[in-house]
Structure 1
Amino acid sequence: MDCDAFYASVEKRDNPELRDRPVIIGGGKRGVVSTACYIARIKGVRSAMPMFKALQLCPEAVVVRPRMAAYVEASRAIRAMMDELTPDVEPLSLDEAFMDLTGTEALHGAPPAAMLARLVKRMEDELGLTGSIGLSHNKFLAKVASDLDKPRGFSVIGKAETAAFLHDKPVSLIWGVGQASQAALEKAGIRTFADLLRWEKEDLTRRFGASGTRLWHLARGEDRRRVSARAPVKSLSNETTFFEDTADPDVLDGHIWRLAEKVAARAKAKDIAGRVVTLKLKRANFALLSRRVSLREPTQSADTLYRTARRLFDQVGDKGPYRLIGVGLSQLEDDAQADLSGDLLDPGAAARRRAEAATDAIRARFGADAIIKGRALR
């Protein structure tokens, strides 16, 4: 189940005056689009697009700053509805999740398709939010199906029709195949699933490594990954792809801060901390740069994440331009030992840590946008 323009839908639900207007969720003129409603998308507005570009395409749009607390509350309500259908729910984000409905027909007295239809109707009736359903016999095909007819979509890919459905579809349909992967596949003469089927597994693996083996199986509609509600979290990360490549240091610094805040918020919500900070950069030519450093003690602090990732960025020595930036935290453990001593060489670290704790308390009481750093507006 994938919610339809989730953040924008929550804003329209909470403010009926926005219902028939194009809505963009994001920062100021120097910021980027977090998401946009379907009215704005018709005008060409897309996620990660610079705000100034989005407003050129859709000058009549209403720009709303993200209210993460409201989105989390709505997400939890949807998750509770899912949990009533099956214990096997694997969230991908606040607005998207896999569900394994195997064996639930006897419990609910209705087949999975009927239960999913009731789920999205209940979401709309009780929460004022819509979602799109993809129903199939594995995760890969369920994800594909959920994107076929958005918004308010309901698509089914049966086992018997899998081969015929995939045959002439472009490989870009595969989750994770971006522009760089597409270019590499096209260079090998692979544009559709039919093209993939002409390759032997060994040849695909030899050319594309582990991804080649995965492609061979997906070309046949095979995906053995299980829906796992309790998979251990190995890392936390957040990244953004720019609509236009940028080398602007202020813009990049603002993104590093926002990404660090998002990763820190997820760590705090899960009561975990990490010892390794990673910075990911993708150049305009799709070349990937990655830098990582181990900390003396685990952290879940946005300030520590930002300052560490910023130092990694300064060490790269490449001014860009870049098309993607990401911040990650790994080697996770419980937060009992997080940020105990701080940076002894930085006399302001303790004060910033207290300020961050105060900020978290204010946001918990008054909402995620109750207090923000000026750095976040870059």
Structure 2
Amino acid sequence: MNPLAAPSPGFCRDCLTGAAGLARCRACGSPRIASHPELSTLSIAHVDCDAFYASIEKRDDPSLRDKPLIIGGARRGVVSTACYIARIRGVRSAMPMFQALKLCPDAVVIRPNMEKYVAVGREIRERMLAMTPLVEPISIDEAFLDLTGTERLHGASPALQLARFARSIEKEVGITISVGLSFNKFLAKIASDQDKPRGYSVIGRAEAVSFLAPQKVGLIWGVGKAFEQKLAADGIRTIGQIQAMEEAELARRYGSMGLRLARLSHADDRRAVDPRHDAKSIGAETTFNTDIAALADLRPVLRHLCEKAAGRLKRANLAAHTVTLKLKTADFRLRTRARQLADPSRLADRIFRAAEELLAKEIDGTPFRLIGVSLSHFEDPALADPDDLLDPAAAKRAAAEAAIDKVRERFGKTALEHGITFRRDD
């Protein structure tokens, strides 16, 4: 390092005072210094809440602060998320609960409270939008942000704005977030995973290719376990090996995915942060405490899930063309069956009828531990649910559903239930 070179721009993440070239903040003594040669020029960020569900529950119940906490179903369910104490013991999202409790038998288990989590997620999203209109949600607890051109509005660089944002979320919302800052979405997402929890990581243009070179190929967006194994079988295990290959050769071997490998391995990601980014599917599912095989027992649960999914569809002002049934057997084998509707729909009644037909074909004595329904291939709701000349009663059912929606909107979701769901065991 040249001793005469100017120190990299930097600031204290705790008190936000300037700290260029310092290991500790002179104002507050904190070692949490954000420093990087390109800190003042980067503007694409990925923000990810740390152990979101668990963090909210610990915020609301301080007695849980130092305890391992798992959010998920009962013993036969799966882990939705786990706090970092539980993660150190090996607990991971989507792990069967019985396995998680073997790894962490002293864990406190809490069922998810989605309404509470969605409310907190919405508050954080609104705070993001106060920084920039270019916010692309990825899930309830993470999003990409493009803060290009916001310096004059906020009187600070994007880097400093993000530090202010992280501090305000911690102090005013009561949970922590991790921030990744770079010059494109691919690297911003990687950066946000580098130093969790309470992370703040930067990947600049100058070091991007060299940073990627020693990383495993699975770090590349779109490379799942199966494709990573295929690449390994071909002798390709690191991103640096891909960097050394010709684009034409990668395309010949792996088609369009080969072209993606060529671009991303060289840190070339041209995707814009798109605030119009839409969910690809909307759905609901549940895991049973005891396996269920009978249609009579599965049917009311399916109706309830269809109502939940249809409600989410209506709130998103969407209509769906495809209904997909999801079943998981006692030995964790997954079955998915889909049906294309003649016209897009947003009615729980139509969705349930399609899903019920799919379910009936799967009833063969196999016990199921999970059932779910998802809706996809969205359309303009103005095109949804035209009159059905072959089913004159459909209009009456649609009117009844609209009336039920109004009652529930006013008096709560359980104020009125469909007769089929009375058999549902909550």
Q: Secondary structure at the match of 2:380?
A: strand
Please state if 1:334 is matched with 2:391: no
Q: Classify 1:375/1:299 alpha carbon distance in 2 versus 1 (closer, same or farther; 3 Å).
A: farther
Q: Distance in 2 between matches of 1:376 and 1:317?
A: 19
Q: For 2:265 and 2:114, how far apart are their aligned partners in 1?
A: 38
Within-5 A mapping of 1:207-246: 207-231=253-277, 233=278, 235-237=280-282
- Written as runs of structure 1 = structure 2, the 5 A alignment for 1:40-59 is 40-59=86-105
Q: In the TM superposition, what whole-angstrom CA distance separates every residue of 1:316-361 from its partner, at most 9, and x where no partner exists? A: 7997999998734214222684597797799x97799577776676
More displaced 10-residue stretch of structure 1: 93-102 or 196-205: 196-205
Match of 2:201 among 152, 155, 174: 155
Residues 346 and 384 of structure 2 are in contact (CA less than 8 Å); yes or no, is this contact kept in structure 1?
A: no
CA displacement at 1:309 relative to structure 2: 4.0
| Residue-by-residue CA offset, 1:117-154 (whole Å, 9 max, x unaligned) | 10010001110011000000000000010111111110
| Partners of 2:64 and 2:145 in 1: CA distance | 32
Larger CA deviation: 98-107 vs 206-215: 206-215
Following superposition, the deviation at residue 205 of structure 1 comes to 2.0
Counterpart check, 1:21 vs 2:58: no
The answer to whether structure 1 residue 7 and structure 2 residue 28 are counterparts is no
Identify if the C-alpha distance between structure 1 residues 234 and 60 changes in structure 2 by more than 3 Å, giving closer, same or farther. Answer: closer
RMSD of aligned C-alpha atoms? 4.2
Change (3 A) 1:263 1:219: farther
Partner AA of 1:30 in structure 2? R
Contact 1:257 1:306 in 2 (8 A): yes
Task: Provide the rounded CA distance (Å) in 1 between the counterparts of 2:142 and 2:67.
Answer: 24
The answer on whether the counterparts of 1:2 and 1:95 sit within 8 Å (CA) in structure 2 is yes
Q: How far is 1:299 from its partner?
A: 2.9
Return the offset for 1:107: 2.1
Q: Which residue of structure 2 aligns with residue 369 of structure 1? A: none
Aligned to 2:315, which of 255, 269, 273?
A: 269
How far, CA to CA, are the matches of 1:239 and 1:144 in structure 2?
29
* Residues 226-273 of structure 1: CA deviation (Å, up to 9, x unaligned): 001124x37424699x9xxxx9868xx799789756644431321212
Are positions 1:126 and 2:160 aligned together?
A: no
What SS does the corresponding residue of 1:209 show, helix, strand or coil?
helix
Aligned match for 1:33, one of 79, 82, 88: 79
Per-residue CA deviations over 1:289-332 (Å, capped at 9, x if unaligned) read: 86432224433355654553454366579979999987342142
Output the CA distance in 2 between the equivalents of 1:105 and 1:221.
Answer: 25
CA distance in 1, matches of 2:400, 2:110: 28
24-33 or 198-207, which deviates more: 198-207
Instruction: Compare CA radii of gyration and give the structure with the larger one.
Output: 2
Aligned length: 366
Unaligned residue ranges in structure 1 (runs of 5+) = 367-371
Superposed CA deviations along residues 213-236 of structure 1, whole A, max 9, x for unmatched, are 1111000001000001124x3742
1:73 partner amino acid: A
Shift of residue 17, structure 1, vs aligned partner: 1.8
Q: Which has the higher contact order (CA 8 A, sep 6+)?
A: 1
Q: Which runs of 5+ in 2 are unaligned?
A: 1-46, 416-420
Asked whether the 8 Å contact 2:49–2:176 carries over to 1, the reply is yes
Separation in 2, partners of 1:204, 1:248: 47
- TM superposition shift of 1:177: 2.2
Deviation at 1:97, TM superposition (A): 0.4
TM-score (norm 1): 0.80
Instruction: Provide runs of 4+ in structure 1 moved above 6 Å.
Output: 253-259, 280-283, 287-290, 316-326, 339-346, 348-352, 354-357
Separation in structure 2 between the aligned mates of residue 359 and residue 238 of structure 1, nearest angstrom: 19
2:139 alignment counterpart: 93
| 8 A contact 1:87–1:229 mirrored in 2 | yes
Cα distance in structure 2, aligned partners of 1:127 and 1:365: 29
The separation in 2 between residues aligned to 1:43 and 1:106, in whole angstroms, is: 46
Q: Aligned-pair distance for 1:7?
A: 0.9
Change (3 A) 1:189 1:315: farther
Report whether the alignment pairs 1:142 with 2:188: yes
